[in-house]
Structure 1
């Protein structure tokens, strides 16, 4: 069945996307990756002889695959046209589900807006004032402790 699954996946990949990668999974299924659309389709043997489990999911920014968002069972004997229709439905369900908010370069922190965004991480004048006040208080404490005041 794995040879038939691989052949069907190759035909299906050509129907779904111009740019694609087809490879075999460890469990015996076949994956079709569409990097340009950030989606993947998986075909794996289901309970019946002629049945295949079709799963669809997203490809994350780093190239790893997110867990399947939708799945269906289809018949291999139905032909690649009907199988492509099932895949398109699953892919559309995958696209409709809400996605996570994209993160910034620092793992979730967003860049502040306004003037602070253009200055970067420089210390502001108010921060320097606070530092100077703390140093002055420490200096007064040390001076009073040594008896110089």
Structure 2
């Protein structure tokens, strides 16, 4: 800043900084779109049924200087728990029984514990972020620094 003398040179310098900031925003928006598409592909790769309803819930949102990618707040929450993992049958505390006949013909109840099926997490947002993080950093630096 000490090298600048006069208003014309200062105005030119600030215009250059503003144009580079616009390039940074464009880069961020491009990589926001790439990350959203990659997260959708990762989400669909873990499914057996591909209707597209679950992946449609991954949205991007831009407000001011904030660029967010994630689940939209919509009813149904298709695929919401794929990132975390969940128990498909959550009645582990209950017991069930099976009626079988013994040797004399009487019916006996054999009690067995109900087992909850754990569906492991199939992450899609975090791998998309880690895959594009370094590319985004290099591209933003290339566009911002002369």
Q: TM-score, normalised by structure 1?
A: 0.24
